[in-house]
Amino acid sequence: MARPFKKSQESKPSPRRTATNFTKLAGADVPQEPTQRLHKLLAVAGLGSRRDMEKLIESGRVTVNGEVAQLGAGVTSYDVVRVDSRPVRLSFVPELPQVLIYHKPEGEIVSVDDPEGRVSVFDKLPRIKGAKWIAIGRLDINTSGLLIFTTSGELANHFMHPRYEVEREYAVRIFGELDDEQMMQLKQGIELEDGLASFDSITAQGGEGANHWYQVILREGRNREVRRLFEAFQMPVSRLMRVRFGPIALPSRVKRGGMLKLEQKQVVDLMEWAGLELPHTPLKQLNQREKDKATAVFTPKVRKRRGGVLEHPPSERDSEGRAVVGNKSESRKPRPSTGVKRKPAKNRRIRE
Distance of CA 57 to the CA centre of its chain: 18
Task: Enumerate the H helices of the chain as residue ranges.
Answer: 38-44, 50-58, 153-160, 180-188, 225-231, 264-274, 288-294
d(CA 96, CA 157): 16
Catalytic entry in 29, 113, 114, 140:
140
Phi-psi region of 123 (alpha: psi -120 to 50; beta: other; left: phi over 0): alpha
Strand extents, DSSP E, the chain: 36-37, 62-64, 67-68, 74-75, 81-83, 86-87, 99-104, 134-136, 144-150, 168-175, 190-192, 195-197, 201-208, 211-218, 237-245, 248-249, 259-261, 316-317, 323-325, 328-329
d(CA 185, CA 196): 12
Active site (annotated) includes residue 180: no
Compute the half-sphere exposure of residue 248: CA atoms within 13 Å on the CB side of its CA. 29
Strand order in the sheet with 323-325: 316-317, 323-325, 328-329
> Mind telling me the catalytic residues?
140
